[in-house]
Structure 1
């Protein structure tokens, strides 16, 4: 199922759902950031996804990282909350969602880096190379906030 992301676009379809989601900035020992190239839109993104009824938000991030990358992670902090109503995601099945995303920081505990059916490529990327990748600006915002080493999380 393909998806199209809209931001502050008057031609965007009206949302018909609200999804609580979690994402994670997972880093390696060299400070590189784990990114996936999404199969549904071919853009690079942090691993993450929608919360299940049985999840906590941190648990959702841990589960999504495992499902999408094969890695077991531990949550180490909070980057911020991302709830901008101008960001709308439309799927080919008719769902048009607003997403409430909580972005965490995480470190790798184990596992094997493995491409899932949601991605075409996985890569640890040096922070200075992130902006060279095709990526939705809402993903870039989360990474920028992480790289700013804020003393308190972004609330937006």
Structure 2
């Protein structure tokens, strides 16, 4: 299993979470890619373009999405997965990927990201590149987030 850049993605998650939340990552595991990505309540897809070509998929349940959105919005009470939650989760993923791509560029790879596509309660579109690995993140008092990474040299 090729896990290149996994540490960069985990560090990006830590950096972004620390910027708006008191929640910490309690466990980060790099695992073999899921054969078929399970549909989750909230799914975010983003592309990586430039010297690297790829996609990342962030999968989480509705409760985790609501907690993260609440954290991003200063503790605002969130009761449903609505446009506010979808927007907050998309922006969080955008921040993580921007942070990760900045770190990857320090390795002399020119990369950029595409805007996030967030779906809630819909079927996840199939990835155009087979995932290389899955980073399973467990956050304090929350369920796991699965961050599926598919990256190859362009």
Give 1 or 2: higher strand fraction: 1
| Greater fraction helix | 2
TM-score, normalised to structure 2, is: 0.27
**TM-score where L is the length of structure 1:** 0.27
Higher RCO, 1 vs 2 (CA within 8 Å, ≥6 residues apart): 2
